[in-house]
């Protein structure tokens, strides 16, 4: 959304404000005011007009301007009702030189998951990719995946869902002994060893989605299923982006924030790594995201792999 349209919205929110007063305040013509008001109405903002002037009566449920309006983070949002993959689109934006851009969709038709899996993304989810250009070496980039997991966990908890992180970046909800997956994260990046050029953090949140519409083998849950009613996706997305923005600026503190939101530490785990399977107790996490595991034959430090929480052996 351009700067003037932002200011029109802010003025309307404090309204009623007359067209001429708005034109004076923003130093634009009356016809420009009218065009901004019409464009906002087309995007779903309900703008009333009476003798007293214009008033902002309601904000659309979801979309680019809806998320940008009131967002306390410097992202511009590009919204699609349906798109193959927000990560693929964000990569294209990166190739065009963009930064601090969020690609957001209601539905993905070709969503991608980790390990080249499909990611089912029906209408009602929060499917988004954040493109940014941090000034860090490539080796530090995994910390942004952890930051995304923390951000989305905090947003879910604020929405009343007791989510927690399974290393490195699955966000789960416990159901007795079982764990159901609420969120998946897929990070992609490009750059030289000493400096990242861009990072795309793709976050898939099963928001207002029925878990029965998702593949059962993923053992899915959703915000809708956990809460028993729909979540306000606009507010949820804003909280997620605001938390992520704060965390990405302070990579040194992300690991501690991750520890507070994670469920893996202290658990028996089995991790499938490129170098083989490692089993033991997960005892710590190290910057930028490696898991420390105590095994029968000593300490192992694992930086990537598929992690399974094992049930404690009861005698
Ligand atoms: C996983 O396998 O757990 C990661 C899933 C990541 C899915 C998200 S949805 C938004 C973004 N666009 C994609 O195509 N994938 C990611």
Q: Nearest residue CA, atom 9 of ligand 1?
A: 204
Token pair 């941090």: residue: 134
- DSSP at 74: -
Please tell me if the CB atom of residue 288 comes closer than 6 angstroms to any atom of ligand 1: no
| Distance (Å) from CA 312 to ligand 1 centroid | 30
pLDDT tens digits along 162-173: 999 999 999 999
pLDDT tens digits along 221-271: 999 999 999 999 999 999 999 999 999 999 999 999 999 999 999 999 999
% of residues, the chain, pLDDT over 70: 99
Of ligand 1's listed atoms, the one at least distance from the Cα of 114 is: 2
Peptide bond into 16 cis (omega under 30): yes
Predicted confidence band of residue 312 (pLDDT cuts 50, 70, 90): low
The arithmetic mean of pLDDT across residues 52-68, rounded, is: 94
The arithmetic mean of pLDDT across residues 190-203, rounded, is: 96
| Distance (Å) from CA 205 to ligand 1 centroid | 9
The arithmetic mean of pLDDT across residues 63-78, rounded, is: 94
The arithmetic mean of pLDDT across residues 74-94, rounded, is: 97
Write down the pTM of the prediction. Answer: 0.94
Of ligand 1's listed atoms, the one at least distance from the Cα of 181 is: 3
| Distance (Å) from CA 89 to ligand 1 centroid | 12
Structure tokens at 222: 């959703």
Q: Compute how many other C-beta atoms are within 10 angstroms of the C-beta atom of residue 118.
A: 12
Residue 115: predicted pLDDT: 85
Alpha helices in 15-63 (DSSP H): 19-26, 30-42
Residue 315: predicted pLDDT: 44
The arithmetic mean of pLDDT across residues 201-205, rounded, is: 98
Ramachandran area for residue 282 (φ above 0: left; ψ -120 to 50: alpha; else beta) = beta
Strands (E), the chain: 46-50, 53-58, 76-83, 101-108, 126-132, 163-166, 170-175, 178-192, 195-205, 268-273, 276-286, 290-295, 298-302, 306-309
Q: What is the dihedral of CA 185, 128, 145, 184, to 10 degrees?
A: -10
| Distance (Å) from CA 76 to ligand 1 centroid | 20
| Distance (Å) from CA 243 to ligand 1 centroid | 19
The answer to whether residue 303 scores a pLDDT higher than 90 is yes
Q: Nearest residue CA, atom 8 of ligand 1?
A: 204
Q: Compute how many other C-beta atoms are within 10 angstroms of the C-beta atom of residue 51.
A: 6
């Amino acid at each position: 959304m351009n700067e003037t349209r932002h200011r029109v919205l802010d003025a309307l929110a404090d309204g009623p404000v007359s067209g001429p007063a708005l034109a004076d305040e923003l130093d634009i013509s009356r016809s420009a005011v009218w065009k901004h008001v019409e464009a906002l109405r087309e995007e779903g903002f309900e703008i009333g007009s009476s003798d007293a002037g214009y008033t902002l009566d309601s904000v659309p449920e979801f979309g680019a301007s809806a998320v940008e309006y009131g967002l306390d983070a410097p992202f511009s949002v590009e919204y699609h009702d349906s798109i193959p993959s927000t990560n693929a689109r964000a990569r294209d934006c990166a190739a065009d030189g963009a930064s601090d851009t969020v690609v957001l969709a209601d539905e993905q038709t070709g969503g991608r998951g980790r390990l080249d899996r499909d990611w089912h993304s029906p209408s009602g989810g929060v499917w988004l990719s954040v493109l940014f250009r941090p000034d860090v070496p490539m080796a530090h980039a995994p910390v942004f995946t952890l930051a995304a997991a923390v951000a989305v966990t905090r947003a879910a908890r604020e929405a009343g869902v007791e989510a927690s992180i399974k290393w490195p970046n699955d966000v789960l909800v416990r159901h007795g002994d079982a764990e159901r997956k609420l969120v998946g994260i897929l990070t992609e990046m490009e750059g030289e060893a000493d400096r990242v050029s861009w990072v795309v953090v793709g976050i898939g949140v099963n928001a207002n989605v029925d878990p029965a519409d998702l593949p059962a083998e993923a053992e899915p849950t959703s915000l809708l299923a956990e809460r028993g009613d729909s979540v306000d996706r606009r507010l949820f997305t804003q909280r997620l982006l605001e938390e992520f923005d704060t965390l990405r600026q302070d990579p040194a503190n992300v690991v501690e924030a991750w520890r507070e939101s994670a469920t893996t530490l202290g658990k028996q785990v089995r991790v499938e790594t490129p170098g083989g399977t490692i089993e033991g107790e997960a005892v710590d996490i190290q910057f930028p995201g490696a898991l420390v595991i105590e095994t029968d034959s000593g300490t192992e430090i694992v930086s990537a792999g598929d992690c399974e929480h094992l049930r404690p052996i009861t005698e």
